[in-house]
Amino acid sequence: MTLALPRPGLRSLSWLAVFALILCAWAVMFAMARMTGVDVIGRPVGMNMMPMTTFGTLFAMWAIMMAAMMLPTLVPTLATYERLMTSADGTRAGWFGVLVGYGLAWVGFAAFIALVQVGLMALGWVDALGIATSGFLTAALLIGVGAFQFSRTKAVCHGRCHAPMTFFLGRWQAGFAGGLDMGLRLGGYCVVCCWGFMALGFVGGTMSLLWMGLATFFMVFEKLPDIGHRLIRPAGAVLIAAGLVTATLTLF
């Protein structure tokens, strides 16, 4: 006879697994920063640096970084799906499907941005710590990401991430396979919505725990139902202003 965990126990274990994964990802990033020889700001602190310059190491770094930064933003979505487990035919397997699908979308982005970083290093546009070597590139990134905050694409994708209940009701699929498909779709919207904050890693330094923390903090707030939509354009204006100041300082 197979013994099944009671629902409250399975629910608690599921959420503990998510939070444990987030904590482990942050712990690994801290260890990687120490191993690389940088401080929390992402600047070198000694001569024994071990920069990451190959696609394999960069992909691993970005994948772990995605888990650390983006899983916290998924918590409201998972909580929304859990509510549908009582009012619809949602299941715990479907809940895990959403989690896995969302993670796969960001792992795909990790591979893409690792390739971008390899290319930028080959051109000499970023250094071994993933920091832009030119003030003009820094300014372009800040202005470009800031301008994207005002775009229709940002608004549409943020709307999907910002209102997961509406998304689920419009594309509901039961079971693990259904959750996986919905998670992939939601993850895709989230990648398009938040790619800019990942790209800003080349401004703050891809190994900067400070940048990671600030970006995660902002993206979590950006997805809160009551205030998230009010943060998009002010953040864009701040980024554009910072880019213009950087360009001016670089020129003069």
pLDDT value for 1:
40
Which has the higher per-residue pLDDT, 225 or 60?
60
The answer, yes or no, to whether residue 50 has pLDDT greater than 70, is: no
Q: From CA 61, how far away is CA 141, in angstroms rounded?
A: 21
- Over residues 185-198, mean pLDDT: 95
CB-based contact 146:240 (threshold 8 Å): yes
Using a cut of 0.85, tell me whether the model's pTM lies above it.
yes
Smallest Cα–Cα separation from 67: which of 111, 13, 117, 106? Answer: 106
- Over residues 213-242, mean pLDDT: 90
Q: What is the residue-averaged pLDDT of the chain? A: 89
- CB-based contacts of 162-165 (< 8 A; 24+ apart in sequence): 162/222, 162/223, 162/225, 162/228, 162/229, 163/225, 164/76, 164/77, 164/80, 164/81, 165/80, 165/83
| Residue % of the chain over a pLDDT of 70 | 92
Smallest Cα–Cα separation from 212: which of 49, 25, 34? Answer: 25
The answer, yes or no, to whether residue 211 has pLDDT greater than 80, is: yes
- Over residues 214-225, mean pLDDT: 88
pLDDT in tens, 84-130: 887 778 889 999 999 999 999 999 999 999 999 999 999 999 988 88
- Kindly report the three-state secondary structure assignment for every residue of 115-141: HHHHHHHHHCCECCCCCECCHHHHHHH
Q: From CA 133, how far away is CA 166, in angstroms rounded?
A: 43
pLDDT in tens, 153-174: 999 999 888 888 889 988 899 8
